[in-house]
Structure 1
Amino acid sequence: MTVTIPKSYREPLYTIGEYAQKLGLKAWVVGGAVRDFYLKKNTLDIDLAFDGNQESVAGFCVKRWGGAKRKFSQFGTFRVQLDNGLKLDMVRARKESYPHPGALPVVAFSKEMKDDLFRRDFTTNAWCLSILPKNFGQSYDPFGAQKDIDAGVVRILHDKSFLDDPTRMYRAVRFAGRFGWRLAPKTERLLQAAVKEEYPLLLTRERFCQEFLKVLKEKRVKEIFGLMEKYDMLKFAWPGLRWNDALDSVSTPAERMGVLACSLGPSGEDFVRTLHLPKDKAQEIVSAWKIAQEQMCPLGPLSEMQKTVLKTVFPKLPLQALEPCFVRGGELKNLGLSGRKISGALGRVRKAQWNGEIKSREEAIAFLTR
């Protein structure tokens, strides 16, 4: 069977396949890109597999189209970011084993593409297309990817899949939610058993959070949360975490994290701190959470992300509630206040500004001198 590779990808993929053939290599598009081609969905992330050393192919791509390459030595992967926006992950066909549940895999190179496909998470991603000129677009589908895509089914490849890599539990519901698919009956039973046995706790918090943050990037996040609630999977992200309708009004992962943090109340800061975000991003979200907890206007300017989160969590806020406090500590000293009286007066003004009781600096001064 031949899968139609979209026109915009044909020239670069054919050219890569042509170069690989000159080197005596076989080359395939693998995994999610094949699924997306079949579903006629655009993608900028393409996985390529070769039956030999792919380093020179990565260098060729950068020379031909511009960009940069990066090597991940642990797994023998080259990531090529082209100037035209395409991201190519290039691997040697391989097989994997897991030294213990939840561990990163141990890799061994293989000449057999079936080995490489078997290490994938689901049948729908265990599919490849040749990009060699002699059989460009020819499909190899040993595990029934096309059949499961047509049926809208998420199916793991073997019974120990969730134990080997518990992040697949979240990928399963993420794909099901994204595409409107369902879990195959046996896969669903194994997922429920994995939740009962608490497989996600086998992961480092960093690996777990990387997968959870991918959920927050999805467009159909409500459907995915619904599945995570159905299978009792949210408890591994944070105790008491639930879907919040305010999430429908925001779109970026940072905004969604902010809304979730605010919905958790006093434990929201701890939730954010466990997500292994860059320090400045975590602090930005925590600062918005703190304002939501205090329900007082900020002392300084807010970022657009912070404003979006707070407007979403408090949709009836007056405009001035998110503006910096109309008065400063120095002005309060000029009014004859000192020590704790300054902080107390500042708190009263911030609360009144949040509630819409004062709308300007002049009203703030009058509020304090009454």
Structure 2
Amino acid sequence: MINIPEILEDILYELKSIGVLPILVGGCVRDSLLNLPSKDYDIELFNVDSFEKVEKSLKKFGRVKEVGRSFGVILLTVQEYSFDFALARIEKKIDKGHKGFEVDTSASLSYKEAALRRDFTINSIGYDYFEKRFLDPYKGIKDLENKILRHIKDETFIEDALRVYRAVQFCSRLNLKLDFNTQKLCKKMVKTEEFKTLPKERIFEEFKKLFLKSDKPSLGFNLLKELGILDYFPELKALVGCIQDKEYHPEGDVWIHTLMSLDEMVKIKTGEQSRDLYLFYAVLCHDFGKPFCTKEINGRITSHKHEALGVEPTISFLSKITSEKNL
């Protein structure tokens, strides 16, 4: 069974009373299986092909916001919870970018058909609250048990290049190993034009999840390196192989030192998300100047003035992932 808020139980029964079959999907199901807390719940609606009567029922419980009506999605905010309701649908890529999809909602779709649009098997698990059973057409539960992150289908996975970054943050957050075939596909996607032109705001959100929800951010950053993503961030790539004095840094090069520092930052998080995010980026960028000034003099390795030399590459790096001037 999945424990859900009492208010959500009332909503599900209300939807059932008007002939809609609501299925819990995505992160709330995955996190429940991992015994992780959740305040965001996604509910996919079957046996219905329009929001007309659904919206009327949902308004009884709280504020309804249209956040993607063209995609068949509305948001309901109740108390401290956020509930996303989506019509069961299939998506077809017809243009570039994450908005270039043709959406087909249908009351007759099966759960297996609707789940095919999802990225990874662990995110394709559904839960039927009324029958108290999991819907798992792509064996996501088995992959969770084996700590494997596996994509569902090549043809659908490649339709959104951001899924490579999602693979990185999920592996880091949940301590998963990327499936061999998924890794091969991700490496191909990294070289595509669509990957190069991903909006910085979308990339920033995946970095944010990696930092704030991982126990070991280093896992994600090593995967960025393995997949070839560091080619887009020369400021990070320059840290790899940049030597340090063994007396002060016996752990190895600047890349290893930076990743170890990120993992230590996890232990001193304040709980204030914006501040923690600033601190994580400060840690990530703190030695960006070393590749510009590291020298070996009289058998000792020095990085004189690396603090000042790190300013320009830090601004360069951050500008690639955010337009937030304060950051």
TM-score by length of 2: 0.74
1:157 aligns with 2:155: no
Identity of aligned residues (%): 27
**Deviation at residue 109 of structure 1 after TM alignment:** 0.6
Matches within 5 A, 1:123-134: 123-131=121-129, 133=130
Is 2:235–2:317's contact at 8 Å kept on the other side of the alignment? no
Match of 1:107 in 2: 103
What are the superposed Cα offsets for residues 294-316 of structure 1, whole Å, 9 maximum, x if unpaired? Answer: xxxxxxxxxxxxxxxxxxxxxxx
Matches within 5 A, 1:98-247: 98-104=93-99, 105-111=101-107, 112=109, 113-131=111-129, 133=130, 135=131, 137-197=132-192, 200-220=195-215, 221-236=217-232, 238-241=233-236, 244=258, 245-247=260-262
Match of 1:254 in 2: 278
Partner Cα separation in structure 2 for residue 268 and residue 59 of structure 1: 50
What are the superposed Cα offsets for residues 7-36 of structure 1, whole Å, 9 maximum, x if unpaired? Answer: xx1633332221111111111101111111
**Deviation at residue 74 of structure 1 after TM alignment:** 3.4
Matches within 5 A, 1:11-160: 11-51=6-46, 52=48, 53-54=50-51, 57=54, 60-61=57-58, 63-64=60-61, 66=62, 68-72=63-67, 73-83=69-79, 85-104=80-99, 105-111=101-107, 112=109, 113-131=111-129, 133=130, 135=131, 137-160=132-155
**Cα gap change, 1:100 to 1:148, in 2 (>3 Å):** same
**Cα gap change, 1:222 to 1:102, in 2 (>3 Å):** same
**Deviation at residue 161 of structure 1 after TM alignment:** 4.1
**Cα gap change, 1:116 to 1:202, in 2 (>3 Å):** farther
Query: What one-letter code is carried by the residue in structure 2 that aligns with 1:120?
Result: R
**Deviation at residue 167 of structure 1 after TM alignment:** 0.9
Q: Structure 1 residues 239-248 or 219-228, which shifts more? A: 239-248
Give the length in aligned residue pairs: 269
Is 1:155–1:184's contact at 8 Å kept on the other side of the alignment? yes
- Name the SS of the counterpart of 2:70 in structure 1: coil
TM-score by length of 1: 0.66
Segments of structure 2 that go 5 or more residues without pairing to the other structure are 240-254, 270-275, 289-309
Is 1:123–1:156's contact at 8 Å kept on the other side of the alignment? yes
Query: What one-letter code is carried by the residue in structure 1 that aligns with 2:70?
Result: Q
Query: What one-letter code is carried by the residue in structure 2 that aligns with 1:99?
Result: I
Query: What one-letter code is carried by the residue in structure 1 that aligns with 2:227?
Result: Y
1:271 aligns with 2:317: yes
Matches within 5 A, 1:313-352: none
Query: What one-letter code is carried by the residue in structure 1 that aligns with 2:261?
Result: A
Partner Cα separation in structure 2 for residue 28 and residue 262 of structure 1: 46
- Name the SS of the counterpart of 1:176 in structure 2: helix
What are the superposed Cα offsets for residues 139-188 of structure 1, whole Å, 9 maximum, x if unpaired? Answer: 22111111111111111111134531111111112112222211122112
- Name the SS of the counterpart of 1:106 in structure 2: strand
**Cα gap change, 1:202 to 1:124, in 2 (>3 Å):** same
- Name the SS of the counterpart of 2:186 in structure 1: helix
**Cα gap change, 1:255 to 1:149, in 2 (>3 Å):** same
Segments of structure 1 that go 5 or more residues without pairing to the other structure are 286-370
Q: When you count strand as a share of all residues, which structure comes out higher?
A: 2
Q: Structure 1 residues 175-184 or 72-81, which shifts more? A: 72-81
**Deviation at residue 197 of structure 1 after TM alignment:** 4.3
Partner Cα separation in structure 1 for residue 211 and residue 96 of structure 2: 26
- Name the SS of the counterpart of 1:164 in structure 2: coil
Partner Cα separation in structure 1 for residue 157 and residue 112 of structure 2: 20
**Cα gap change, 1:82 to 1:234, in 2 (>3 Å):** farther
**Cα gap change, 1:102 to 1:160, in 2 (>3 Å):** farther
Is 2:169–2:207's contact at 8 Å kept on the other side of the alignment? no
What are the superposed Cα offsets for residues 274-308 of structure 1, whole Å, 9 maximum, x if unpaired? Answer: 33344xxx32x3xxxxxxxxxxxxxxxxxxxxxxx
**Cα gap change, 1:201 to 1:46, in 2 (>3 Å):** same
Is 1:16–1:57's contact at 8 Å kept on the other side of the alignment? no
**Cα gap change, 1:74 to 1:209, in 2 (>3 Å):** farther
Partner Cα separation in structure 2 for residue 270 and residue 180 of structure 1: 30
